[in-house]
Amino acid sequence: MVDLRQYTVFPRQRDALVDVFDEAFIEGQEEHGMHIVGQFRDLDDPDRFVWLRGFRDLPAREAALNGFYYGPVWKARGAEANVTMKDSDNALLLKPIALRTGYPVRDAGRPPIGSTGIPSSVVAGAVYHRGSAGDGFGEFFADQIEPVLAGTGTGVVASFETLVAENNFPPLPLRDEIVLAWFAVFPSDAAYAEHRRQLDASATWQQKVLPEIICRSVAAPQQLRLRPTARSQFR
């Protein structure tokens, strides 16, 4: 299970948040059993920072979050992060539908503290806002959406849907919403642009799949186009 967290930061403060996160909050959280899967700059919003944080299960989530946010690392560095953030409440608790090659495992390596090389890759995907947990959207995604994405050369690395459960760490709110989210990795901006070109030119996507997505959704899909930070595992 993962938290998908999207923070709105104050203007020109995102790099400051990335710096403290990559320096202190990866190992600081993983010491408590969490898995910091990936952290990203949103390429379409200069004031958004996006990250994925994994947990073994709900009890482990509660213990890990209490351990970190009431522990020494957050006490020492949390103020540096908080001062950059305008809104940190955009968060979803998700369970995996499928995790494939390219999605980092818990003990995968990452660049060391102090690394500055930003990958050229793009981690992209979408969040679909669903009407209910029993709406059949997962089957629709597997049967109709994924095949069209594959036809553009897009291999979905990970897909998730909402884990319907009580938030067991209330200091960090979660959105009360049912979604399906997917992620894919593109080696470059040009590769992502080619995927979008092919998708826009696909009659199946434009005439069949996209109208069905809209019909099944309670809000417009959120498109994600993300650049991994220097220490992100997911890249």
Residue 21 lies in a domain: yes
Short-list 12, 2, 55, CA closest to 33:
55
Residue 63 lies in a domain: yes
pLDDT score of 107 more than 90: no
Q: Over the Cα atoms of the chain, what is R_g?
A: 18
pLDDT score of 200 more than 90: yes
Q: What is the pLDDT of residue 148?
A: 97
Cα–Cα distance for residue pair 122/157, rounded to 1 Å: 12
Cβ atoms of 93 and 163 closer than 8 Å: yes
Quote the Cα angle for 152-216-185, to 5°.
Answer: 30
Structure token pair of residue 191: 């590769």
Cα–Cα distance for residue pair 85/11, rounded to 1 Å: 10
Q: Residue range 173-177: average pLDDT?
A: 97
Going by their DSSP bridges, the two strands 85-99 and 217-228 should be labelled as: unpaired
pTM (predicted TM-score): 0.96
Structure token pair of residue 77: 């560095």
DSSP state of 173: -
Q: What is the pLDDT of residue 36?
A: 98
What tens digit of pLDDT does each residue of 209-232 get? 999 999 999 999 999 999 999 999
Residue 42 lies in a domain: yes
Q: What is the pLDDT of residue 153?
A: 87
3-state SS class at 217: strand
What tens digit of pLDDT does each residue of 184-196 get? 999 999 999 999 9
Residue 233 lies in a domain: no
CATH at 194: 3.30.70.100
Report phi then psi at 216, rounded to 5: -85, -10
What tens digit of pLDDT does each residue of 141-167 get? 999 999 999 999 899 999 999 999 999
- Structural domain boundaries, residue 38: 2-228
Q: What is the pLDDT of residue 186?
A: 97
Structurally, how many domains does the chain consist of? 1
Q: For all residues of the chain together, what is the average pLDDT?
A: 97
Residue 235 lies in a domain: no
Cα–Cα distance for residue pair 116/132, rounded to 1 Å: 42
What tens digit of pLDDT does each residue of 39-61 get? 999 999 999 999 999 999 999 99
Residue 161 lies in a domain: yes
- The percent of residues in the chain predicted with pLDDT above 70, rounded, is 100
Cβ atoms of 229 and 52 closer than 8 Å: no
Residue 234 lies in a domain: no
Residue 100 lies in a domain: yes
CA torsion sign for 138, 233, 117, 185 is negative
